[in-house]
Amino acid sequence: MSWLFNYNWSLMLNPLCFLMIAFGTLIGLLIGALPGLGPTVGIALLLPLSATLEPVPAIALLISLYMAAEYGGAITAVVMGIPGTAAAVPTVFDGYPMAKSGKPGKAVAYSLTASTIGGFFGWIVVAFLTVPLARVCIKFSDPELFLIALFGLLSVSGLSSANLSKTMVSILIGLLLGTVGLDTFTGVPRFCRGIINLYDGFDLVSVLIGMFAITEVLNMVLSDFSVHTVPKGEDMKVSLSLKETRHIMPTVLKSSVVGTICGIVPGLGGGVAAMLSYSEAKRSSKHPETFGTGEPIGIAASESANNAVVGGALLPFLTLGIPGSSTIAIISGALMMQGITPGITLMRDRPELVYSIFVALFFAIIAMYVIGRFTNSLWARVLVLPNNILAPIVLLLALLGAYASRGYVFDVWVCLASGVAWWFLSKVGFSRAAFVLAYILSDLFESGFRRSLQLSYGSYGIFVSRPICVVFLCAIALIFGGRYVSGLIKKRCEQKKEEA
Amino acid sequence: MSKKWTSIVTEIVLAVCSLVFFIMAYNFNDGGTSVYAGAGYYPMLVSGLMALFSITGILTDLFGKEKNSRKTIDISRIQNVGFVITAIAIILIFWQFLGLFYVGAVIGVGMLLILLDPKPKTGKRIGMMLAIAVGMTAVTWLVFEIALKIHV
């Protein structure tokens, strides 16, 4: 806390830094909103510019872009049903139905408010709890990471209303597709059939764009074109009342905690954070049946978690020099270009730079809210377009997004195949949410599982012999046991009501 | 189209696919390393479980109680899906074989806009749809090629 008084504020409080924050935020919103492009691509694009700046304005530029891009993914998720980034996938589940039900303004307002609060939560954690939290999280090893992934996968069963076997098959399809490509342990190509593009596996973003955008295009063209997605003159108000904000606050705070932890633990990131928070929000809701139909809490859970990740991800990076995500790795590269080496010595040798990152993050969140607030009404109006116009726009953006992610036309084919396959599979009751989380977690799940077995020479006992593992297993047992018991009680009550 | 039987056929296909994956994964284990350390161990576990759950799904669909959800899949406007596939094919042919993505986009998107337009197709209306296609493609060109330097 004392750094607030010791920090040389003139480093950040100058026109150049504010200009960079505004510029970074605008670019971040655009990059995040464009399907296929996320904060990693955005920061990579601005690296040459950041190299020409002094360290503090460069930090301001990159941090504000990172924060805004995490939120930007929600914009197209809400107004078009295309997740701009993997972290915005759960936002589609409720954001898009809410927008389609005639409240696009409210949907983007919920996502912006939740993103802002989540961002602030992550900021508070990184600014005031950096060292102790980093020490705890660094103790997570492969068995713990495997159990986190397992917890995520099991929790997804609560996400889907489909029958259990279909949810499990959806999860297993995700895990199986995640094994395609070179095996990182042995170098053996798995299921590649000689196709070189498959050696890196299926591109996550292309698969996601296909699943959501192509599916949505097919749904749009099969719908009645005389009906607008959102009729003209509908409520475009992009602000929330105090009551609405209060309603989402408990979920926002809970999801921010999940997001921050997922940011701190290397390898998890925004996608996992958003899915876990969403499934937890649904699990703990009194009305889980409203999820997927435009439930504000669903939007709030996903958006607050993926923005809280930003603060969390900075924590191990600043204290231990560990970049927990590809985005942070590129920011690390940008700092190295400035002659700054992140890690334990940075806090000791150049504390003013660490504090500048804290302050930049704070102003980046404010900039995201202000600029987001002014531009959101424009986005909300996209849905006023009739479906016969909107479908080709979504299709064009989807094709470009799938390509832009890695620069392969092959990924466009993957996007189309995944779109058509999941359009069909979702019609017969398979769970997209379960597949998405499994696919996002597949790397972590497999590497955690196999490394743990290697550590224990093939013994599964490793998952119950470590203290943190036992804590995780107890948490899993408590949550799922609780769900089972509450289900039984509910059934009993219904039976009693019927008898009465 | 009956949803129940579509679901059963889908699950049969998935069960067969998972068995194929299982056999392929079995061949990844070279015998030189411990089984659990081999490249095929984990995919075998996953594909085996997938086959098991697919079969469970088939049995559930066959003998379980049917829920009150819609029992058929609506395909009354299926010709529109054909239009989308044609538009995508045009874009991809121009893109992959001629390297002219934006030309393909104008033609494909323009065609799709005209075919999906529910209003009577007058000359003015067709011109308007083509103008939208050109405008939309121009915006994507500006954003991707000029602003982001992503060359398509």
Amino acid symbol at A162: A
Whether A265 and A333 share a structural domain? yes
**Structural domain count of chain A:** 2
A276–chain B nearest CA distance, Å: 22
Helix (H, G, I), strand (E, B) or coil at B72: strand
For the segment B67-81, the average pLDDT, to the nearest whole number, is: 67
pLDDT band at A330 (very low <50, low <70, confident <90, very high): confident
Helix (H, G, I), strand (E, B) or coil at B40: coil
Contact B36 A392 (CB under 8 A): no
Chain CA centroid to CA A182, Å: 25
> What ipTM is given for this predicted complex?
0.88
A183 lies within 8 A of chain B by CB: yes
Q: Is the pLDDT of residue A29 over 90?
A: no
For the segment A456-475, the average pLDDT, to the nearest whole number, is: 85
Whether A261 and A218 share a structural domain? yes
Give the nearest chain A residue to B112 (CA atoms): A392
Considering only CB atoms, A190 lies closest to which of B28, B87, B152, namely: B28
State phi, psi for B16 to the nearest 5 degrees.
Answer: -65, -45
List A residues 186-245 in contact with B (Cβ-Cβ < 8 A): 186, 188, 190-191, 217-218, 221-223, 225-226
Q: What is the pLDDT of residue A363?
A: 92
Contact B10 A424 (CB under 8 A): yes
B67–chain A nearest CA distance, Å: 10
Q: What is the pLDDT of residue B53?
A: 92
Write out chain B residues lying below 8 Å of A37, CB-based. 148
Give A289-305 pLDDT, tens digit per residue.
888 888 899 999 998 99
Question: How many CB atoms within 10 Å of residue A318?
Answer: 23
Give A189-199 pLDDT, tens digit per residue.
999 888 888 99
Whether A150 and A214 share a structural domain? yes
**For residues B137 and A396, is the Cβ–Cβ distance under 8 A?**
yes
Give the nearest chain B residue to A170 (CA atoms): B50
Average per-residue pLDDT in chain A? 82
Whose structure tokens read 């050109």? B134
Structure tokens at B97: 């074989």
Using a pLDDT cut of 70, give the percent of chain B over it. 87
Amino acid symbol at A145: L
Whether A387 and A487 share a structural domain? no
Give a three-class secondary structure readout of chain A: CCHHHHCCHHHCCCHHHHHHHHHHHHHHHHHHHCCCCCHHHHHHHHHHHHHCCCHHHHHHHHHHHHHHHHHHHHHHHHHCCCCCCHHHHHHHHHHHHHHHCCCHHHHHHHHHHHHHHHHHHHHHHHHHCHHHHHHHHCCCCHHHHHHHHHHHHHHHHHCCCCCHHHHHHHHHHHHHHCCCEECCCCCCEECCCCCHHHHHCCCHHHHHHHHHHHHHHHHHHCCCCCCCCCCCCCCCCCCCCHHHHHHHHHHHHHHHHHHHHHHHCCCCHHHHHHHHHHHHHHHHCCCHHHCCCCCHHHHHHHHHHHHHHHHHHHHHHHHHCCCCCHHHHHHHHHHHHCCCCCCHHHHHHCHHHHHHHHHHHHHHHHHHHHHHHHHHHHHHHHHHCCHHHHHHHHHHHHHHHHHHHHCCHHHHHHHHHHHHHHHHHHHCCCCHHHHHHHHHHHHHHHHHHHHHHHHCCCCHHHHCCCHHHHHHHHHHHHHHHHHHHHHHHHHHHHHHHHHC
B36–chain A nearest CA distance, Å: 6
pTM given for the model: 0.75
Considering only CB atoms, A391 lies closest to which of B73, B116, B133, namely: B116
What are the extents of the domains in chain B? 3-63, 78-147
pLDDT band at A160 (very low <50, low <70, confident <90, very high): low
In order of A19, A26, A97, A398, A413, the CA distances from A373 in angstroms are 18, 12, 21, 26, 36
Contact B53 A403 (CB under 8 A): no
A396 lies within 8 A of chain B by CB: yes
Contact A183 B39 (CB under 8 A): yes
Contact B38 A412 (CB under 8 A): no
Contact A221 B39 (CB under 8 A): no
Domain residue limits at A500: 466-500
Amino acid symbol at A159: L
- Dihedral of CA atoms A1, A12, A14, A332 in degrees, nearest 10, equals -170
Whether A372 and A476 share a structural domain? no
Q: Which conformational region is residue B112 in: left (phi greater than 0), alpha (psi within -120 to 50 degrees), or beta? A: alpha
Residue A453 CA to residue A470 CA, distance in Å, equals 17
Give A235-284 pLDDT, tens digit per residue.
556 678 888 888 889 999 999 998 888 887 766 777 888 888 888 888 88
Whether A353 and A492 share a structural domain? no
Using a pLDDT cut of 90, give the percent of chain A over it. 10
Whether A190 and A283 share a structural domain? yes
Whether A452 and A472 share a structural domain? no
For the segment B114-139, the average pLDDT, to the nearest whole number, is: 89
B123–chain A nearest CA distance, Å: 18
Q: Is the pLDDT of residue A38 over 80?
A: no
Q: What is the pLDDT of residue B64?
A: 73
pLDDT band at A405 (very low <50, low <70, confident <90, very high): confident
pLDDT band at A176 (very low <50, low <70, confident <90, very high): very high
pLDDT band at B106 (very low <50, low <70, confident <90, very high): very high
Question: How many CB atoms within 10 Å of residue A47?
Answer: 15
Contact A404 B150 (CB under 8 A): yes
Give the nearest chain B residue to A44 (CA atoms): B148
Write out chain B residues lying below 8 Å of A427, CB-based. 3, 6, 73
pLDDT band at B144 (very low <50, low <70, confident <90, very high): confident
Helix (H, G, I), strand (E, B) or coil at B118: coil
Residue A96 CA to residue A430 CA, distance in Å, equals 19
Residue A285 CA to residue A255 CA, distance in Å, equals 13
pLDDT band at A494 (very low <50, low <70, confident <90, very high): confident
Helix (H, G, I), strand (E, B) or coil at B10: helix
B91–chain A nearest CA distance, Å: 9
Write out chain B residues lying below 8 Å of A166, CB-based. 57
Whether A472 and A455 share a structural domain? no
A386–chain B nearest CA distance, Å: 10
Write out chain B residues lying below 8 Å of A28, CB-based. none
Write out chain B residues lying below 8 Å of A225, CB-based. 116, 118
Q: Which helix (H) or strand (E) holds B16?
A: helix B3-26
Q: What is the pLDDT of residue A428?
A: 86
Q: Which of A356, A325, A363, A322 is nearest to A338 (CA)?
A: A356
Give A134-144 pLDDT, tens digit per residue.
666 667 788 88
A150 lies within 8 A of chain B by CB: no
For the segment B12-36, the average pLDDT, to the nearest whole number, is: 83
Q: What is the pLDDT of residue B149?
A: 77
- Dihedral of CA atoms A61, A109, A296, A364 in degrees, nearest 10, equals 20
